[in-house]
Amino acid sequence: MDLKELVEPAHTALCVVECQNGVVGPGSSMPAVAEAAASAGLLERLGFLAKAARSVGVRVVHCTFHAHADLWGGSRNSLLFAVGRRSEVQQYADTDAVKPVPEIGFVEGSDIIVPRFHGLSSVSGTGLAPMLRNEGVTTVAVVGVSLNVAIPNTVFDLVNDGFQVVVPTDGSVATVPGYGEQVLEHTLAYVATLTDVSGLAEEWLEAGT
């Protein structure tokens, strides 16, 4: 299956992982991730991709991380979670921290937010997979942060759930750029179709003409 057929708008969704103010914005709980995103020009690039997706009816799904006010129910079983719980910046539900960054935006009546309160993946325990299936989605393009943890976990879960997955290589970052390149080349290339943001956007824009 070529890329054009794979990402045909009628059966494709764009999942934007953790591109929220409290993660990649100025007041980030993960400054190294925010710095990597800024250095790579990631948010502006994803804003362009999201605009292209919306223009042809590809659903933009913001997969954001949220926390209850007292952190109830949040995961505790790793160093990553422990550091997150001690952070001065928390991803409290219904605050600016969990809103999609303005570079990508959120379009009422079009975009969807699927929050995650625990775990490492935007899929496991969030209801994302059945909702995608209910809408006839068979291909999911995954972008956002980061290639260290959340992106691979999300990709693996989508593949395990039977979806085709497309990963733009310049649609994500890692806190060590060289590591991100290794993840793409030696892991995600085996389970997903790799492309780039401009190539994916071009396929969508051509489909709309």
What is residue 92's predicted lDDT score, i.e. its pLDDT? 94
Could you give the CA distance from residue 126 to residue 135 in angstroms, rounded to a whole number? 16
**24 pLDDT above the threshold of 80:** yes
What's the length of the chain?
209
Q: pTM of the entire structure?
A: 0.97
Tokens at 177, concatenated: 């750029």
CA angle 100, 102, 104 (to 5 degrees): 70
What is residue 193's predicted lDDT score, i.e. its pLDDT? 99
Q: Would you call 160 helix, strand, or coil by DSSP? A: helix
Q: Which residues have CB under 8 Å from 85's CB, separation 6+?
A: 71, 74, 76
Could you give the CA distance from residue 136 to residue 132 in angstroms, rounded to a whole number? 6
Nearest 5°: phi and psi at 136? 80, 15
Contact 205/12 with Cβ under 8 angstroms? Answer: no
What is residue 88's predicted lDDT score, i.e. its pLDDT? 82
Q: Would you call 163 helix, strand, or coil by DSSP? A: coil
| Class of CATH domain 3-207 | alpha beta
Could you give the CA distance from residue 99 to residue 64 in angstroms, rounded to a whole number? 8
Tokens at 201, concatenated: 């956007």
For residue 146, cis peptide bond before it (omega within 30 degrees of 0): yes
pLDDT in tens, 49-106: 999 999 999 999 999 999 999 999 888 898 888 777 887 888 999 999 999 999 999 9
